[in-house]
C-alpha cells in the first residue's frame, strides 16, 4: 500500500463538541499514529457521530483543534480529504446506480482510478456477486452497507473514520470486516470507529475513549 | 496506487453522475418540462385568444413560467444526495467544494433549464411571436436559466433538510430572480417594440457573470452550514 | 477573552473593546443606552414632525399632501440602510463566529422590515392624490416592495430552521446574498421602469427642496436612527436572555 512509506499523526487538542445548544464533550485530547485503532464508546446521543464528523472535517469543532501531521485540518481543507476515508451513518450509496457505478463514483471523488475487475472481485468477496448489475435500490440494508464498505478494500487512504460499520452486517461480513481492519492497522493504517456490537479487534495500538464519562 | 484522476475528470464524473441518475429517473426531469408547457398554456385560457394581446404578454408569461419551472426542481438539487449520504462524500472529495457545487449547478441547468430553451420557442409560436422574438427568447433563456440555477442553488443549499422546503425556497429565491426576469423578458420585449436588445442581453450577461462568481461560493458556504 | 497587549500610554487603547463583544458585558451596557436613545428619539421625531407638518411651506403643486415625505423619505432611507447594516453584522458573525453579531443581525431585521412597510404605505397614500391610484409601479416603490420580500425571506428562513446556530449562519448567508443583490435589483427595476415609460412623477424630486424641509427630514432621520438603536438593543437583550437560559452549561467568560 502506498501510504506505508510515510508516517502520519492525527492529533486532537482540547476538542469541544456542541449539537444545537447542548454540550456533548469537552477537552478531548488524543493522538493517533500509524497502526492505531481508536474505539469511541458512549451511549446514544453522547456525541460519537459529531466527533467522527469533526475528525473528518465535515463539522467544525466548537472549540479546540484537530491537526494532521501538525497542520490544522481546517487550513488543509480538501488537501486533508486526500487522506481520509469516511463511511458515515448513511451509506453514501445512490440507489439508482449499480454497486459498481457507486464504487466508481466514490473512488473518483478521491481522485482514484477505478479498476473494474478489482472492484468485481471485492464485491464477490463481500458476497454481492448476484447484485452486481442491479440498481442498489434492489439490495437489502446489509447489502447496501457492504457496497459502501467495499471502498475499504479498493481505496488507498491512511485514515479510516467509520461510524457503526458493523450495523446490519451478518456474521460472515462482520468477521471479514474485522479482519480487514486488523490487517489495515498492522499495515500502518489508522482507524477511528464507533460500534454497538461486541467486536473485539486485536491490534497492538488499540485505544478506547468513552464520551459520556 | 497513485492518485491518477485529474481535477477535470473528477468534476466531469460528478456532472455525469447527476445526469445518469436523472436519466434513470426520467419522471423528475419530464415533470419540470411538462409543467412549463401546461402552465404556459393556461395564460391564454385565463385571458383571451386575441393574437395581439397574446404576443404582447408572451415574453413575460414565458419567462415567468420558465422561472417557476426552474424553481420547482430546486428542492431536489441537493436533497436526494443529502438523504443518502452522497452529499457528505462529495464535500469530502479531494476537490474544492466550490467546484463540486458548480458541477451540481451545471447538472441542474442541463436537466431543468436547458430543455426549456428548446421548448419555449415552440410555445412562443402558440403566442403568435415573430421569428426575431422567438430567437431572442431562446437566447435570453439560454443565459437566464443558467443564472437561475446558479442563484437557486444558494436557496436550495440554505434550506437543505429544513421542513417545508419547497415553498421556503420560493420565498428566498424569487426576489433574487427579479433582475434575471427583468433583463431576460426585457430583451424579448425590446425586440417587440423595435428596439435593440443588445443592452438587455449584455446586462443579462453581467448578472450571469456575477452569479458565476458569487453563487458557487455562497452555495458552498450554505452547504457547509447545513451539513455541520 | 484575550487582552489587547499595547505598550502605549494612551488610556483608551488599554480599554478592552472586545469585552463589549461578549453578550455578558454587552447586556448591562445596552440597558444603560436604551432610555437615552428612546428619549432622544421621541423628542427628535416630535420636533421633526412639527417642522414638517407646520413650519415647512405648502407646495404650490402638490398642496399639503406632499408633507408625507417627512415620514416616507427617512423611512425609505432606513429600510435600505438597516438591510445593509444587518448584512454587515451577518458577515461579521460569519467571519468572527461571534454570537453577538448574529443576535444584532436578527434584532435589526424586524425594524428594517417595519420601515420598509412604512415607506410602502406612505408611498401609496401619497400616490392616491398624486397619481390617482393606490399603487403605481414607480421604480422607487417597486424596489421597496422587493426589499420587503428580501426581509420576508430572511424571517422565513430563520423561522424554518430549528437549530439556532444553523439558523444564525444560514440567514447570515442569505442576508449577504441579498445585500449583493440589492443594488442589482434596484438598477434592474430602474432600467425596467425607463423601458416601459413608467410613472415620471417621483416623490423625491416633486417639490423643490426648501432648507427647512431638508432640515425636517434630517431631524426625522436622526430620530428614526435613535429609535432603531433603542428598539434593536431591547431586542438583543431579549435574545441574550433567551439564549443564555439554554446555554448556561457552556458559558465561557
- DSSP lists the bridge partners of residue A98 as A135
**pLDDT confidence of C252, banded at 50, 70, 90?**
very low
Measured distance CA(A46)–CA(C56) in Å, rounded: 68
CB A120 within 8 A of CB B12: no
Average pLDDT over residues C184-201: 74
pLDDT above 80 (res B181): yes
Residue in A78, A106, A111 closest to B89 by CB: A106
Measured distance CA(B225)–CA(A58) in Å, rounded: 10
Taking the CA atoms of chain B, what radius of gyration do you get in angstroms?
Answer: 18
Of B55-69, B201-215, C46-60, C192-206, where does mean pLDDT reach its minimum?
A: C192-206
Residue in C94, C157, C181 closest to B176 by CB: C181
Q: Does domain A8-83+158-213 have CATH number 3.40.50.300?
A: yes
- pLDDT tens per residue across span A44-75: 888 889 999 999 989 888 888 999 998 898 88
pLDDT above 90 (res B174): yes
**Chains B & C: contacts with CB separation below 8 Å:** 76
Evaluate whether residue B1 is within a structural domain: no
CB A149 within 8 A of CB A160: no
- Terminal CA-to-CA distance of chain C, rounded, Å? 7
Residue to mutate among C247, C248, C253, with most A CBs inside 10 A, is C247
Residue (of C51, C48, C172) closest to C101 by Cα position: C172
Percent of chain A residues topping a pLDDT of 90 = 39
Evaluate whether residue B205 is within a structural domain: yes
B10 touches A: beta carbon within 8 Å: yes
Note whether A2 contacts B2, CB cutoff 8 Å. yes
Q: What is the nearest CA distance from C94 to chain A, expressed in angstroms?
A: 13
Taking the CA atoms of chain C, what radius of gyration do you get in angstroms?
Answer: 21
Measured distance CA(C252)–CA(B56) in Å, rounded: 64
Contacts of A111 (CB under 8 A, 6+ apart): A82, B3, B4, B5, B10, B93, B94, B95
Residue of C nearest to A17 (CA): C250
User: Residues 52-111, chain A: which have Cβ within 8 Å of B?
Assistant: 56-60, 77-79, 81-82, 84, 86, 88-97, 101, 104-106, 108-111
List chains adjacent to chain A, taking adjacency as at least 3 C-beta pairs closer than 8 Å.
Answer: B, C
Of A9-23, A167-181, B31-45, where does mean pLDDT reach its minimum?
A: A9-23
Measured distance CA(A174)–CA(A149) in Å, rounded: 11
Tell me the three state secondary structure of residue C186. helix
Give strand ranges (E) for C61-116. none
pLDDT of C249: 43
Q: Which has more confidence, A75 or B109?
A: B109
Residue of A nearest to B99 (CA): A78
Mean of the per-residue pLDDT values for chain A?
Answer: 88
B161 touches A: beta carbon within 8 Å: no
Evaluate whether residue B2 is within a structural domain: no
Q: What is the nearest CA distance from C40 to chain B, expressed in angstroms?
A: 36
What range does the domain containing B159 cover? 7-227
- Partners of residue B16 in chain A, C-beta under 8 Å: none
pLDDT above 80 (res C150): yes
Note whether B17 contacts A94, CB cutoff 8 Å. yes
pLDDT of C199: 44
- Partners of residue A23 in chain C, C-beta under 8 Å: 249-250
pLDDT above 60 (res A38): yes
- Terminal CA-to-CA distance of chain A, rounded, Å? 37
Strand A205-210: give its sheet, edge to edge. A84-87, A159-163, A190-194, A36-41, A205-210
Note whether A20 contacts C243, CB cutoff 8 Å. no
Of A90-99, A108-117, C56-65, where does mean pLDDT reach its minimum?
A: C56-65
- For chain B, the farthest-separated pair of C-alpha atoms sits apart, in whole angstroms, at 69
Contacts of B35 (CB under 8 A, 6+ apart): B68, B69, B72
Grid cell listed for B172:
428566498
- pLDDT tens per residue across span B134-162: 999 999 999 999 999 999 999 999 999 88
Percent of chain B residues topping a pLDDT of 90 = 80
**pLDDT confidence of C67, banded at 50, 70, 90?**
confident
Residue of A nearest to B6 (CA): A111
Task: For residue A5, give the DSSP letter.
Answer: G
pLDDT of C248: 52
Q: What is the nearest CA distance from C96 to chain A, expressed in angstroms?
A: 13
Q: Domain segments of chain C: what residues?
A: 31-245
Residue of C nearest to A16 (CA): C250
Q: Which has more confidence, C214 or C44?
A: C44
B1 touches A: beta carbon within 8 Å: yes
Grid cell listed for B15:
456532472
pLDDT above 90 (res B2): no
B214 touches A: beta carbon within 8 Å: no
**pLDDT confidence of C1, banded at 50, 70, 90?**
very low
pLDDT of C32: 86
Note whether B88 contacts A90, CB cutoff 8 Å. yes
CB C232 within 8 A of CB C26: no
- Partners of residue B93 in chain A, C-beta under 8 Å: 78, 81, 109-111
Average pLDDT over residues B50-69: 93
Mean of the per-residue pLDDT values for chain B?
Answer: 92
Q: What is the nearest CA distance from C105 to chain A, expressed in angstroms?
A: 19
DSSP per residue over chain B, as a string? ------HHHHHHHHHHHHHHHHHHTHHHHHHHHHHHHHHHHHHHHHS---HHHHHHHHHHHHHHHHHHHHHHTTTHHHHHHHHHTHHHHHHTSSS-HHHHHHHHHHHHIIIIIHHHHHHHHHHHHHTT--HHHHHHHHHHHHHHHHHHHHHHHHHHHHTTT-TTHHHHHHHHHHHHHHHHHHHHHHHHHHHHTT--THHHHHHHHHHHHHHHHHHHHHHHHHHHHHH-
pLDDT above 90 (res A191): yes
pLDDT of C20: 62
User: Residues 24-43, chain A: which have Cβ within 8 Å of C?
Assistant: 26
Q: What is the nearest CA distance from A15 to chain C, expressed in angstroms?
A: 14
Residue to mutate among C102, C164, C165, with most A CBs inside 10 A, is C165
- Residue C117's H or E segment, with its range, is helix C99-131
- pLDDT tens per residue across span C101-142: 999 999 999 999 999 999 999 988 888 887 788 888 888 889
pLDDT of C205: 53
CB A16 within 8 A of CB A26: yes
- Report the relative pairing of strands A36-41 and A190-194 from DSSP bridges: parallel
Alpha-carbon distance values, B98 to A92, A104, B21, B222 (Å): 20, 22, 21, 11
**pLDDT confidence of B35, banded at 50, 70, 90?**
very high
What angle (nearest 5°) sits at the alpha carbon of residue B25, between those of residues B21 and B27?
Answer: 145
Taking the domain C31-245, which CATH number applies?
1.20.120
Evaluate whether residue B24 is within a structural domain: yes
- Partners of residue A21 in chain C, C-beta under 8 Å: 164-165, 243, 246-247
pLDDT above 70 (res C17): no
List chains adjacent to chain B, taking adjacency as at least 3 C-beta pairs closer than 8 Å.
Answer: A, C
Please name the residue that has the C-alpha cell 486488523: A182
Q: Domain segments of chain A: what residues?
A: 8-83+158-213, 94-157
Instruction: Determine phi and psi for C125, rounding to 5 degrees.
Output: -65, -40
Grid cell listed for A24:
456533548
B26 touches A: beta carbon within 8 Å: no
Q: What is the nearest CA distance from B116 to chain A, expressed in angstroms?
A: 25
HSE, side-chain direction, 13 A CA sphere, residue C28:
3
DSSP per residue over A110-133, as a string? TT----HHHHHHHHHHTT-GGGTT
Q: What is the nearest CA distance from C246 to chain B, expressed in angstroms?
A: 20
Residue of A nearest to C242 (CA): A21
Measured distance CA(B153)–CA(B143) in Å, rounded: 16
Evaluate whether residue B184 is within a structural domain: yes
- Partners of residue A82 in chain B, C-beta under 8 Å: 3, 94
Note whether B226 contacts C178, CB cutoff 8 Å. no
Burial of B79 (0-12, 13-18, 19+ CB in 10 A): middle
**What's the whole-model pTM score?**
0.89
Q: How many domains does chain B have?
A: 1
**pLDDT confidence of B172, banded at 50, 70, 90?**
very high
Residue to mutate among B29, B86, B103, with most A CBs inside 10 A, is B86
Give strand ranges (E) for chain C. none
Mean of the per-residue pLDDT values for chain C?
Answer: 82
pLDDT above 70 (res C3): no
Amino acid at each position: 500500500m502506498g501510504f506505508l512509506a510515510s508516517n502520519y499523526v492525527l492529533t486532537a487538542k482540547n476538542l469541544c463538541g456542541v449539537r444545537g445548544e447542548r454540550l456533548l464533550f469537552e477537552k478531548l485530547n488524543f493522538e493517533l499514529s500509524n497502526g492505531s485503532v481508536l474505539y469511541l464508546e458512549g451511549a446514544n446521543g453522547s456525541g460519537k457521530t459529531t466527533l467522527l464528523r469533526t475528525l473528518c472535517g465535515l463539522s467544525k469543532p466548537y472549540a479546540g483543534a484537530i491537526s494532521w501531521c501538525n497542520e490544522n485540518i481546517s487550513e488543509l481543507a480538501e488537501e486533508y480529504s486526500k487522506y481520509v476515508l469516511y463511511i458515515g451513518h448513511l451509506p453514501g450509496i445512490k440507489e439508482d446506480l449499480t454497486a459498481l457505478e457507486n464504487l466508481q463514483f466514490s473512488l473518483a471523488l478521491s481522485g482514484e482510478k477505478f479498476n473494474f475487475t478489482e472492484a468485481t472481485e471485492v464485491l464477490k468477496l463481500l458476497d454481492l456477486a448476484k447484485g452486481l448489475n442491479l440498481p442498489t435500490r434492489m439490495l437489502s440494508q446489509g447489502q447496501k452497507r457492504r457496497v459502501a464498505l467495499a471502498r475499504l478494500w479498493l481505496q488507498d487512504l491512511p485514515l479510516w473514520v467509520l461510524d457503526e460499520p458493523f450495523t446490519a452486517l451478518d456474521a460472515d461480513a462482520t468477521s471479514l470486516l474485522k479482519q480487514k481492519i486488523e490487517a489495515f492497522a498492522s499495515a500502518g493504517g489508522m482507524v477511528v470507529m464507533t460500534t454497538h456490537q461486541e467486536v473485539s479487534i486485536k491490534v497492538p495500538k488499540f485505544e478506547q475513549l468513552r464520551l459520556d464519562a | 496506487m497513485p492518485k491518477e484522476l485529474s481535477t477535470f475528470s473528477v468534476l466531469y464524473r460528478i456532472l455525469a453522475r447527476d445526469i445518469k441518475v436523472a436519466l434513470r429517473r426520467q419522471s423528475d426531469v419530464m415533470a419540470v418540462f411538462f409543467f412549463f408547457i401546461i402552465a404556459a398554456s393556461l395564460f391564454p385560457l385565463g385571458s383571451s385568444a386575441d393574437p395581439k394581446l397574446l404576443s404582447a404578454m408572451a415574453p413575460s408569461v414565458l419567462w415567468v413560467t420558465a422561472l417557476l419551472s426552474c424553481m420547482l426542481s430546486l428542492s431536489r438539487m441537493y436533497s436526494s444526495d443529502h438523504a443518502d449520504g452522497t452529499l457528505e462524500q462529495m464535500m469530502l472529495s479531494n476537490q474544492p467544494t466550490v467546484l463540486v457545487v458548480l458541477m451540481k449547478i451545471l447538472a441542474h441547468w442541463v436537466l431543468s433549464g436547458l430543455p426549456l430553451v428548446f421548448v419555449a420557442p415552440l410555445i412562443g409560436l402558440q403566442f403568435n411571436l415573430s421569428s426575431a422574438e422567438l430567437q431572442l427568447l431562446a437566447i435570453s433563456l439560454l443565459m437566464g436559466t443558467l443564472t437561475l440555477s446558479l442563484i437557486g442553488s444558494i436557496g436550495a443549499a440554505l434550506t437543505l433538510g429544513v421542513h417545508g422546503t419547497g415553498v421556503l425556497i420560493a420565498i428566498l429565491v424569487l426576489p433574487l430572480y427579479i433582475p434575471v426576469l427583468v433583463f431576460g423578458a426585457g430583451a424579448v420585449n425590446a425586440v417587440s417594440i423595435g428596439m435593440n436588445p443588445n443592452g438587455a442581453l449584455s446586462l443579462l450577461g453581467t448578472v450571469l457573470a456575477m452569479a458565476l462568481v458569487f453563487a458557487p461560493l455562497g452555495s458552498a458556504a450554505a452547504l457547509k452550514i447545513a451539513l455541520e | 477573552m484575550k487582552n489587547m497587549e499595547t505598550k502605549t500610554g494612551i488610556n483608551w487603547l488599554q480599554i478592552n473593546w472586545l469585552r463589549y463583544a461578549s453578550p455578558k458585558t454587552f447586556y448591562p451596557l445596552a440597558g444603560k443606552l436604551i432610555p437615552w436613545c428612546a428619549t432622544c428619539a421621541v423628542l427628535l421625531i416630535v420636533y421633526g414632525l412639527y417642522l414638517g407638518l407646520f413650519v415647512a411651506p405648502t407646495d404650490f403643486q402638490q398642496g399639503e399632501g406632499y408633507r408625507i415625505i417627512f415620514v416616507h423619505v427617512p423611512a425609505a432611507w432606513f429600510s435600505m440602510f438597516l438591510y445593509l447594516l444587518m448584512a454587515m453584522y451577518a458577515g461579521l458573525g460569519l467571519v468572527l463566529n461571534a454570537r453577538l453579531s448574529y443576535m444584532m443581525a436578527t434584532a435589526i431585521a424586524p425594524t428594517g422590515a417595519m420601515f420598509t412597510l412604512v415607506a410602502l404605505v406612505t408611498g401609496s397614500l401619497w400616490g392616491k392624490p398624486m397619481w390617482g391610484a393606490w399603487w403605481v409601479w414607480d421604480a422607487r416603490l417597486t424596489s421597496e416592495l422587493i426589499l420587503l420580500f428580501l426581509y420576508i425571506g430572511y424571517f422565513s428562513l430563520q423561522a424554518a430552521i430549528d437549530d439556532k446556530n444553523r439558523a444564525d449562519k444560514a440567514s447570515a448567508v442569505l442576508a449577504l446574498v441579498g445585500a449583493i443583490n440589492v443594488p442589482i435589483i434596484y438598477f434592474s427595476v430602474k432600467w425596467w421602469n425607463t423601458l416601459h415609460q413608467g410613472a415620471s412623477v417621483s416623490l423625491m424630486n416633486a417639490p423643490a427642496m426648501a432648507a427647512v424641509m431638508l432640515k425636517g427630514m434630517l431631524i426625522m432621520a436622526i430620530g428614526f436612527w435613535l429609535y432603531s438603536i433603542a428598539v434593536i438593543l431591547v431586542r438583543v437583550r431579549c435574545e441574550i436572555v433567551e439564549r443564555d437560559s439554554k446555554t448556561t452549561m457552556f458559558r465561557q467568560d
